[in-house]
Structure 1
Amino acid sequence: MKIHKEQAEHYIWGDACDGWYLERDADRTIIQESMPPGTSEIKHLHQKAKQFFFILKGEAVMWIDGTTITLKPQEGCTIQPGVPHQIRNESTEAVEFLVISTPSTAEDRTAL
C-alpha cells in the first residue's frame, strides 16, 4: 500500500520536533522526523530495539555512548540495543531523517 508523509500519523516530540509514522507495528517502525535548529532528543537507550538513522536533509550530530559523529545527507548509522545515544541538531537549518526501529521501540526506552 502506498503511503505519503502527509497521510501518516503525526506526533510532536522533544523541543517542537515532528514525527510521522510511515510504518508502525510490533516488528518494526519507520518514522520520518524533522528537528528545527538547536533541538535535541534526551540521551536514552533501548533494551530490545536496534535503530538505523538516515539523514535526508541537513546535518545531525549523533552522540553514541560517549562518541560524537556528524551525519550529513545520504549518511546513516546503526544503534545496537542497549547502546546509549542522542540525536542533536546543532546547525542553523532543519534536519530531516528516517529512523527505522526493529522491533518497535514502544515501551522500550530508558532515559539516561
Structure 2
Amino acid sequence: MHIGQFAERTGLSSRTLRHYEAIGLIPPTGRTEGGFRLYTEEDLRRLMTIRRMKALGYSTAEMGELLELLDVLEDEAADGERRQQARAALEARLDDARERREKLAAQVERADEFLGILQERLG
C-alpha cells in the first residue's frame, strides 16, 4: 500500500511515517518504479506496535530497543541463546509497561473527575 493509504490506516501523518523510517523504527520500505514508498501488512503490524508504545510514553530510542528485542524473539533463525536473552529483557520491561499503564489510567481517572466537575457546575 502507498504512504497515503498507510497513513490513513494507522492514523499517523505521512511526515511521521517518513520520520519513523528515517530513524529506523520501521524498516526502509519497498519502492515502486516511480520511487513511491510501498508498505506491507507486516509494516502495519510493526507501526501499530509503535503507536501502542507511544501511548505509554516511550521515547523513540526506547521504542527502538523494544522493537529490536521483539524482532529477535520472533526471528526463528536467531540462535536459542539470543532469543532467550531477548525474552528475559522483554520480561524485565513488562513491569515498566504495567507501571506506565497504571499512571495513564490514573490520569484518565483524574480527567473523568474534572469532566464531572465541569458538568456539575454547568448544571
TM-score by length of 2: 0.22
Structure with more relative contact order (C-alpha pairs < 8 Å, separation 6 or more) = 1
Q: Which has the higher helix share?
A: 2
Which structure has the larger Rg over C-alpha atoms? 2
